[in-house]
Amino acid sequence: MLHRLTTARGAALISGLGVALIAGAATGAENAAGIYLLGFRGPLAGVTPPPGIYVENDLYIYDGSVGGGRRLLLGGTLAANVDGEAQLDAPSVIWVTPAQLLGGQLGLTVTWPLGRTYAAAGTTLDSPIFGRNSGFISDETNAIGDPLLSGFLGWSAGKFHWQAVAILNIPVGDYRKDALSNVAFHRWAGDLTGTVTWLDPESGIDLSAAAGFTFNGENPETDYWTGTEFHIEWAASKSFGKFSLGLVGYHYQQVTGDGGPGATLGDFEGQVTALGGTVAYNFNLGTTPLTARLKVYREFAAENRLEGTSALLTLSLPLSINAPHAE
């Protein structure tokens, strides 16, 4: 039971920290993407596992669109009736150190995503490559994205667990100027997020939430400065032995507008809400405890961004744990 809970905690922690990135879900930001990937935090978002080293692999799939003649700016191309897809893989390594700071457990994470993004525009209003009113265009990218470095402090008191998280996007990934789709962002960006979980081990009930702000630098290739973004996620789940089931959701709101010479649509502030469900299974591979979790979201009430469906499949395991022995 201790191994299962430890692995589940590791899964929640790495999902929350290591993969808060990727360009799949579209926002009102440049290239319809933000470094914080909505929906990665869920059950156990505030729980910190014991000191040790953990690894995780996250497979993210997104399919969305925006119609009705509404416009998006993709890599300098002004387009309408846009469809977007992403199939991304994000391996992560996390180290929960034995050190404490301000009474909280200190941890560090590194994540480096890779995969495919695709965008198609039914109407091209203006493009540096295709010109004006050029009709249908599409673009596909298979590349390595920007790495993310994360640090966190985790605390607990009784059934309450909470974390303070800082994330930094380092713009060294494979980026193509004027492309409709990119995995990398080519801009410095940081995120500050707080998480909290109320967990009752006896009943198996988990109530979790996370909220934070993403601060973006300018993309020097496009002279585009993405505005500040707010995100909040929530989850309610219950364990049934090795399985757990629950409801999840998120809301995204851009709180300051985009700027710079490349922001030809002006402020272009975006927002969206999503609801969905999650299922997890804890099992052993030999003597190694593993956790697999699936989350599916359906977006609605989108403004200045794609609206679609996403799925996230997470597999996590500990490489080494310094856990207390059960009495």
Distance CA 300, CA 278 (A): 18
pLDDT at 5: 47
Q: What is the pLDDT of residue 279?
A: 97
pLDDT at 237: 98
Q: Which residues of the chain have pLDDT under 50?
A: 1-7, 11-12, 14-27, 325-327
Instruction: Return the pLDDT at 273.
Output: 97
pLDDT, residue 274, reads 98
pLDDT at 133: 63
CATH code assigned to 2-273: 2.40.128
pLDDT at 107: 97
Q: What is the mean pLDDT of the chain?
A: 85
Query: What's the pLDDT at 3?
Result: 42
d(CA 24, CA 32): 9
Distance in angstroms (rounded) separating the CA atoms of residues 104 and 205: 24
Residue 100 bridge partners (DSSP): 105
pLDDT of residue 1: 41
